[in-house]
């Protein structure tokens, strides 16, 4: 059963026992590239280029710590609305990264997956994404999920459409639809839900990232801009996370004695 569909008590017990409280799944909004460049009086695209390097810092950290899943928000549904030259530059960078990085990720045992509205990308990029997924499909050291052309609302709407199709085809009755059935059609339902969310760049918002999947994720924000990311910052986030009590709607007393019947 996917961890995303665990009951609160099941999710809690799998959490509380974990040694040193390393998150299994880390979800990151990589924000602040544009401001990093603007502060240096450089075009925004220079910030995106520097941001691509910071991705490697994050991947290295996850591999070193044994984090199982890393989901990176690379490009949102709304980012398509940015000026044409910035979108074009981001597409070029994306294509370049796919050409350059996949062999090395494969060699290091990283499985790459993309979530988002893939159809909006050019055929050349889609072909590269498909090839990267196929090449790395057998890897299990780290599951690297790139959210590109992704929106949490798109994800939920897509899941609803898939269920509606099942109903139309006579495979599902409307009264059978519950959180578990809908959750099973949301992206990443085969992976544990994110334990820790990190956003760089100082903004305190979700910006249409994993809306469904973040229901009980611990949130951590830093003013540091994405290109400035280093292992020490990621370690601070992990340390903060490991000191938190995740209650999943239950009481602190229930967490302390999970086998006792609540009063």
- Interface residues for ligand IPE in 79-118 (CB under 6 A)? 79, 90
CA distance 27 to 262: 33
Is 31 among the catalytic positions? yes
Report 188-217 residues binding ligand IPE (CB under 6 A).
201, 203, 205, 207
# of chain residues touching ligand IPE (CB under 6 A): 17
Cβ-based neighbours of 3, under 8 Å, separated by 6 or more? 11, 14, 24, 191, 192, 193
Q: Does the annotation place 206 within a ligand binding site?
A: yes
**Minimal distance, residue 36 CB to Mg ion, in Å:** 10
Query: Is 74 a residue that touches ligand IPE (CB under 6 A)?
Result: yes
Alpha-carbon Rg for the chain, nearest whole angstrom, is: 19
Shorter beta-carbon distance to Mg ion: residue 31 or 68: 31
Q: Quick check: is 195 catalytic?
A: no
Which of 56, 60, 79, 230 is catalytic? The answer is: 79
| Closer by beta carbon to ligand IPE, 31 or else 155 | 31
User: Hey, which residues between 30 and 49 contact ligand IPE (CB under 6 A)?
Assistant: 30-35
Copy the structure tokens of residue 65: 């710590």
By rule CB under 5 A, what string of x and - marks binding of each residue 123-152 to Mg ion? ------------------------------
Q: Annotated binding site for Mg(2+): which residue ranges? A: 31, 218
**Residues that are catalytic:** 31, 79
Contacting positions for Mg ion (CB under 5 A)? 31
Contacting positions for ligand IPE (CB under 6 A)? 29-35, 73-76, 79, 90, 201, 203, 205, 207
């Amino acid at each position: 059963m996917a961890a995303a569909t665990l009951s609160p008590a099941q999710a809690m017990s799998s959490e509380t026992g974990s040694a040193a409280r390393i998150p299994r799944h880390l979800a990151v909004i990589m924000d602040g590239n544009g401001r990093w460049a603007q502060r240096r009086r450089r075009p925004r695209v220079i910030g995106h280029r520097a941001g691509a390097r910071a991705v490697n810092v994050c991947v290295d950290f996850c591999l070193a710590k044994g984090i199982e899943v890393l989901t990176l928000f690379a490009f949102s549904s709304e980012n398509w609305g940015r000026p044409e030259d910035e979108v074009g530059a981001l597409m070029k960078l994306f294509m370049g990264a796919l050409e350059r990085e996949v062999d090395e990720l494969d060699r290091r045992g990283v499985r790459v997956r993309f979530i988002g509205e893939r159809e909006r990308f050019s055929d050349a990029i889609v072909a590269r994404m498909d090839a990267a997924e196929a090449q790395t499909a057998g890897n299990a050291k780290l599951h690297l999920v790139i959210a590109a052309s992704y929106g949490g609302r798109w994800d939920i709407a897509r899941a609803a459409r898939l269920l509606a199709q099942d109903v139309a085809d006579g495979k599902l009755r409307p009264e059978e639809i519950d959180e578990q059935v809908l959750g099973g059609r949301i992206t990443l339902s085969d992976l544990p839900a994110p334990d820790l969310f990190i956003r760089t760049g100082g903004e305190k918002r979700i910006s249409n990232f994993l809306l469904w999947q973040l229901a009980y994720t611990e949130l951590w924000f830093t003013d540091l801009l994405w290109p400035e990311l280093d292992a020490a910052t990621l370690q601070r986030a992990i340390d903060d996370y490991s000191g938190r009590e995740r209650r999943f709607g239950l009481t602190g007393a229930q967490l302390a004695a999970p086998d006792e019947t609540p009063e």
